[in-house]
Amino acid sequence: MRIHPKLICCFLPVVFLCGCKKSGSTQETSTTKPAASTNAAPATTTPTASTPAAAPGSADTGASAETSARMAAADWALKQDEIKRDPNGQWAIQATASSTYNDAQGAADWSANQATGAPNVDKYGDNGAAWTSKTPDGGIEWLDLKYPKPVYATEVRVRESCGSGAVIKIEVYDEQGGSHAVWQGNDPTTELNYLMVKFPKTTFKTARVKITLATNVVPGWNEIDAVQLVGADQ
């Protein structure tokens, strides 16, 4: 029996500590991801271009704020494009998870495989094109991803698209299957954004990344759109 998603959309993105709730409709399943969008809203962690401050009460205040917002959006779009086209970056081709919403398998909405390929969620909120766990606040969940080419890794970029801020650990695996934690801590991600974790180049090649979340940290569903592994052959 198919379980209907929970009612109500995501809480407003400005309420950073709130997670996502399931929408009332099931989205169309796609076997392949469309190209990544660059229309995401500017993230709070993204530097914004500065503009001269308008005098209090000046008619230019509104125009200055609009200009600043546009510049910030443009900067974010450029950053998205830079990440997508990074010659040392690669997107996952296979994924498994501790659980999936509705026990989704294969290319079904919210399945682990929705976290493979380039990002394709362009708005913060609940979206079947991202992976999420079976229950919203159950505690520890994980997403395990495999990549096409083993590399000496230097960075992992986790694209969070709903209930951002719940990641607590990132591991990479050597070619013998041994796990190596490259980051563990408090995830500062808010809205539609990347958790970008840089670390010293690994002494081994890796083609596998594991993301661990504490889903009770941010109430509601915590969704991951894509995960990029960055590294080189030598």
Nearest residue to 138 via CA among 94, 97, 93, 176? 97
Q: What is the pLDDT of residue 19?
A: 62
pLDDT > 90 fraction of the chain, expressed in percent and rounded = 66
Collapsed DSSP state (helix, strand, coil) of residue 225: strand
Number of folded domains that form the chain: 2
Q: Is 107 within a domain? A: yes
Q: What is the mean pLDDT of residues 173-198?
A: 97
Do 73 and 150 have their domain in common? Answer: no
- Greater confidence (212 vs 4) lies with 212
| CATH number of the structural domain spanning residue 139 | 2.60.120.260
Q: Is residue 158 part of a domain?
A: yes
pLDDT tens track for 2-51: 344 443 333 333 334 456 877 653 333 333 333 333 333 333 333 333 33
- The most confident of the ranges 29-43, 52-66, 148-162 is 148-162
Lowest mean pLDDT among 39-53, 89-103, 202-216: 39-53
Q: Which domain holds residue 55?
A: 51-85
- The residue count of the chain comes to 234
- Can you count the helices (H) and strands (E) in the chain? 1, 8
User: Domain check: are 223 and 159 in the same one?
Assistant: yes
Confidence of residue 62 (pLDDT cuts 50, 70, 90): confident
Residue 149 included in any domain: yes
Is the Cβ–Cβ distance between 213 and 169 less than 8 Å?
Answer: no
**Per-residue b/e over 38-68, b at no fewer than 16 CB within 10 Å?**
bebbbbeebeeeeeeeeeeeeeeeeeeeeee
Residue 160 lies in a domain: yes
pLDDT in tens, 114-132: 999 999 999 999 999 999 9
Mean pLDDT of 177-189: 98
Please tell me whether residues 67 and 134 are part of one structural domain.
no
Q: Is residue 96 located within the same domain as residue 80?
A: no
pTM of the predicted structure, to 2 decimals: 0.76
User: What string of H, E and C letters represents the secondary structure of 97-157?
Assistant: ECCCHHHCCCCCCCCHHHHCCCCCCCCCCCCCCCECCCCCCCCEEEEEEEEEEEEEEEEEE
As a whole number, the mean pLDDT across the chain is 82
